[in-house]
Structure 1
């Protein structure tokens, strides 16, 4: 059955659907006028009152969460409020009328949502077809990451105490290192840790240490103006692209930077110049390093995969 009250029976290029305004002329989606008004009124009420009811905080969080696909970094700018509210352990409808005081640190989230221009900005409706890929990896001895043929990494000064923090730290450091090159780009972070992927796509979480929850964290929001950022889990052969970077960084710090990688492919080259066994890889040097005696002067890198 068709619900006539919720249907638009005439062709239109601008319509409201589930609190979103869809505009096919500008190809943007933004909050509808009614939803913007409801959100601004709820946030203003929460900010101006010294004591608010639990029900109002729940309403504000719901109004923030629903439109996050069309509000850039919307999820990130509700985490402080969420973490504080989750620690209160309010029990369902029985605590709805309980009076609570919102702490000053949570007001930073509320201020973000008080900007009408930001709520009207919206996001493009078209799909992203071209990403800048960043690969990251970590081991018990070091960390590293790659952006194209550029690599960065190093050894741990002090080993992180938890595996998820161990895998998250390289993402923060690699994005910070390459932030100038990632400006105005659609960034896709590839990691072999599913917790890191979920954390990045949800713009933070409630369980990691506060140092990883900062709004200035380059992994979840970042100071550099990127068009978008998402993450995906590395599968199969793609894992090789970043997994040798910590070892490469340690070798470079001890012996110097190699000028070429002798046995590589487009997926795992550790140097800007490299040889390959396949012409389809399009190596910057030639095919089959052993077939050429005129190698470049300087240090050469080689990683042989064990046969087991």
Structure 2
């Protein structure tokens, strides 16, 4: 079987992590819950009594709303969990595509979405954070 170069990085990650990666079917105890939302002009997020928001950069305005929702969830993660390690987080999103790409650690239909979701997971993995989106 010949593996395309574009898939080698993913394959090697799974090969190295297959024995230690788990995805529980149900998890009810999350350390924090983050709500995030996106629009074409900006983004916002809430975690407990803390709030974060920002305006879109001009170069971001060309992206589809699905990408912007993923990007906003990443901004929210960075705002509220930058100093956290070794815990589980619940992301509340209103975009089913973004939810799917986060929970499945990527996808095959949209390269931009898959690349961004992988970047989110790598950022979380470096902090031993487990995220679930709903």
- TM norm. shorter chain > 0.5: yes
Counterpart for residue 154 of structure 1: 54
Counterpart-to-counterpart distance in 2, 1:151 and 1:203: 26
Pairing of 1:216-295 with structure 2 (within 5 A): 217-218=119-120, 220-222=121-123, 223-226=126-129, 228-232=130-134
Higher strand share: 2
Counterpart-to-counterpart distance in 2, 1:126 and 1:102: 30
Q: TM-score, normalised by structure 1?
A: 0.37
Structure 1 residue matching 2:98: 3-state secondary structure: helix
Bigger relative contact order, structure 1 or 2 (CA pairs below 8 A, ≥6 apart): 2
Contact kept, 8 Å, 2:107 with 2:114, in 1: the verdict is: no
Q: TM-score, normalised by structure 2?
A: 0.76
- 1:122 Cα deviation after fit: 5.8
Counterpart for residue 128 of structure 1: 27
Is 1:110 matched up with 2:11?
yes
Higher helix share: 2
Identify unmatched segments of 5+ residues in structure 2. none
- 1:128 Cα deviation after fit: 3.0
Residues 114, 168 of structure 1: alpha-carbon distance in 2 compared, 3 angstrom cutoff: closer
How many residues get paired?
129
Counterpart for residue 199 of structure 1: 101
Identify unmatched segments of 5+ residues in structure 1. 1-51, 53-100, 233-308
Contact kept, 8 Å, 1:137 with 1:192, in 2: the verdict is: yes
